[in-house]
Structure 1
Amino acid sequence: MRPLSPTCSLDDPLRSAQDPFAIQGGRMLTPEGWRETDLVISEGCLRPGIPAGSVPTLDARGLWVLPGLIDLHGDAFERVYCPRPGVRFPLEMALQEHDRLLLANGITTFFFSIADSFEPGIRGRESARRLVEAVKSSARRLRVNGYVHLRHEESQVNGLDELVGWMESRRIDLLSFNDHLPDPDDRAQVARFLKSLRLREHLSEDDAYRMIREAVAQREQGRSQCDELARRARTLGIPTASHDDDLERLRQSVRRGVRLIEFPMNGATALRAKKEGLAVLMGAPNVVHGRSHLGWLSVREAVRSGSVDLLCSDYHYPSLMAAPFILAKDGLCSFETAWRMVSAVPAQQVGLAHRKGEIKDGYDADLVLLDPAANGSTPIRGVIVGGRIAALFPDVSR
């Protein structure tokens, strides 16, 4: 018997996606409910219900075996790549460190939310170009399944042909339309924008105001370009999203054929999006805090009204693992429903539901093994990605 413990080396042959092994003794969450049965993993895929036989095993007694977390919107990688304003580390080093961070939080499929903005620096086009290429070229060297979610600012009008080329060459897996541009005459909006900007870049106030005014002048041209990008995305089968919608912006999103609304500003917008047949994504940090840090719609309120479908890490990876436990503990929904919000439902929204997000025969073997009695410490004991043991964590509380 091969125990689930740090004594099981990650250099072990079990790491090969081609070598079959089994998880035994765990409580497994399937689409039909909880099951206690062997889970065989072979050639990177799940084979539930097949007897383990003589293949090597992981002893998961006392643990839950769940589909791995699927995160459609996470931008905390920016702080790994650029931990101080204007300070950047080699991308390969940053991606390797970030990969381990994702595994430590049970995220097995991650959409790098890369900004394509009018801003200079880490959220500008040059940086987006480097990040997109790095994510795509590093896929075989990273353990977590990596995809590109390009967050395109509507006032970024430069390089349209390049962006279309990325779409046509399948470098973009999810395209969202963003408008973070503050009203230059609203001092409070500008102050908040500048505060955020200065966490990333060194920019004088005069230069920042000049940048804002230039972007405002380009807004209508940018909106027209986004209409065209939405049409191309539909043709190419690339899922699209819209960011920070209010009711007015939601009408634009519906007209563009967007399928996913990220972080609606209020309950009326979220409910209207649902009536229009759109899915609503909100941030897991909102669950942990109990409110939006911007004073917008609370996830708790949205769960009660049935106006949120899925969660993402947004800016804090540990919150994605914590959120289902909190929602269940507070009686807002069942744990099973909450876990679907971070696994099966995200997979559905980006065309991965045929192979990810659930424990089903033939699906990708992307799993997290959790200790439900973790007593406040991280519950993660193991992470499997693509049939490989990607990480094992000891229980340091015992």
Structure 2
Amino acid sequence: MISHLSPLRLTGATVLRDGSLQQRSVAIANGLISKGPFPAVDLTGYLILPGIIDLHGDAFERHMAPRPSAPFPLETGLRATDRDAAANGVTTAWMAQSWSWEGGHRGPDFAEEFLAAVAAYRPRMLTDLRVQIRCETHTVGTRERLLAAIKKFGVDYVIFNNHLDEAIEMSHARPEDIAHWAKKNGRTSEEHMAMVWAARDQDKDVPRHLCKLAEAFDQMGVTYGSHDDPDGTTRETYSLIGAKVCEFPTARTPAALAKAVNDPVLMGAPNIVRGGSQSGNIAAIDLVKAGLCDVLVSDYYYPALAQAAFKLAEDDVMPLEKAWAMISTNAADVLRLSDRGVIDYGKRADLVVVNADTKAIEATISGGRITHMMGEAASRFTQMLSSEVPVAAE
């Protein structure tokens, strides 16, 4: 177990607090935002921002298997994911693990193995890593198994998605992509499509299956939503069964419908940074400008989170305060995390220290523990820790 920082006070920086950027200090004690005449670290020239909360990321898959044919032990992958997240200002993150008819690294067997590995690694975590289950809709026969895994491992977030239509369309238009998809799971294209059609045979049972899952999730306190909604009808259907989170809508209509009924909309931060969707769907910036996006997530690349917030501010789309809220405060609200997402007394000491000139993240503090530190910020912390001279409170 990594111990908390000794009580200290961060001074001289510009701090995002109470919804605005302010010149004030931040005190930390026992892992929480506090008050007190503690030893000071001079962070003049830096921004202190709330720790980033990432509601959906699959970058961990690259750490588990840098190449499809070269998997590494799960603990090795989790440790690398932990460090990757921390180096990019992330203090809480949901790793999006599939529960799919595909099998392999996206099947129930691997999902259960992964959940067990996360539970075993938890005492050594720096970042608060959690698991989001991406449940394929056509997995009717695994319902009780899924619910048992969610209960056993304390999963608090599930997203429904359906990739069958994508697979069928791909088999006609881009058979080479199906071949690549199949090869990753050690199958031929024919074997892969046989699994697609077998899953499609469950069509008539899927609505009842999803309703039963939704009822169980409500009883268990699990937040749930849907992924890649293509149209308003799909989003409305999910919203009606309680799947309120609208993750990565592929067009404006489902996003607009979600906002009309106060369902949160999540989009990928890489989409903002790169200027569009890598898969050809709607550009996230269009939804942000229209007020139809609440939260940005890492998707497949942790560095994009902070980069997206700064880009929105630099391009005058919105002030930094609001842009940063899309990767902190708003995300905390979606998952009902009342102890984090803002810098305030009694909240978790989740902080990101950013060089105001370069926008480089030079320190991350998660739950009052240093999880990442580099550059000039590291020098300043080291100087304070070596001297430990108390200063008067402001």
Tell whether the structures are fold-level matches, with TM greater than 0.5: yes
* Pairing of 1:291-306 with structure 2 (within 5 A): 291-306=276-291
Q: CA deviation at 1:182?
A: 2.8
2:385 paired residue number: none
Is 1:173 aligned with 2:160?
A: no
Q: CA deviation at 1:58?
A: 2.5
- Structure 1, unaligned stretches of length 5 or more? 1-10
* Aligned counterparts of 2:183 and 2:366: Cα–Cα separation in 1: 33
- Structure 2, unaligned stretches of length 5 or more? 378-394
Change (3 A) 1:189 1:265: farther
Q: Is the 8 A contact 2:5 2:370 kept in 1?
A: no
Aligned counterpart for 2:307 among listed residues 318, 322, 338: 322
Q: Is the 8 A contact 1:86 1:202 kept in 2?
A: no
1:247 paired residue number: 232
Name the SS for the 1:232 alignment partner: helix
1:6 paired residue number: none
Change (3 A) 1:184 1:149: closer
1:68 paired residue number: 51
Name the SS for the 1:254 alignment partner: helix
Is 1:43 aligned with 2:30?
A: yes
* Aligned counterparts of 1:347 and 1:192: Cα–Cα separation in 2: 41
* Aligned counterparts of 2:32 and 2:253: Cα–Cα separation in 1: 42
* Aligned counterparts of 2:331 and 2:125: Cα–Cα separation in 1: 21
Name the SS for the 2:154 alignment partner: coil
Is 1:159 aligned with 2:146?
A: no
Q: Is the 8 A contact 1:23 1:57 kept in 2?
A: yes
What is the RMSD computed on CA atoms of the aligned residues? 2.1
Name the SS for the 2:370 alignment partner: strand
What letter is aligned with 2:10? I
Is 1:281 aligned with 2:266?
A: yes
Change (3 A) 1:24 1:188: farther
1:111 paired residue number: 94
Q: CA deviation at 1:198?
A: 5.0
* Aligned counterparts of 2:176 and 2:292: Cα–Cα separation in 1: 28
| Count of residue pairs the alignment pairs up | 375
Is 1:94 aligned with 2:82?
A: no
Q: CA deviation at 1:185?
A: 5.2
Q: Is the 8 A contact 1:23 1:38 kept in 2?
A: yes
Aligned counterpart for 1:217 among listed residues 169, 191, 201: 201
Q: What TM-score comes out, normalization by structure 1 length?
A: 0.89
What letter is aligned with 1:391? H
Q: Is the 8 A contact 2:259 2:292 kept in 1?
A: yes
Q: What TM-score comes out, normalization by structure 2 length?
A: 0.90
Question: Identity rate of aligned residues, in percent?
Answer: 32
Name the SS for the 1:158 alignment partner: helix
* Aligned counterparts of 1:78 and 1:140: Cα–Cα separation in 2: 21
Structure richer in helix, relative to its length: 2
What letter is aligned with 1:158? G
Q: Which moved more, 1:82-91 or 1:254-263?
A: 82-91
Q: CA deviation at 1:395?
A: 5.7
Is 1:391 aligned with 2:378?
A: no
Name the SS for the 2:265 alignment partner: strand
Cα deviation 1:219-265 (Å, max 9, x = unaligned): 33234212211111112221111001122211211121112100111
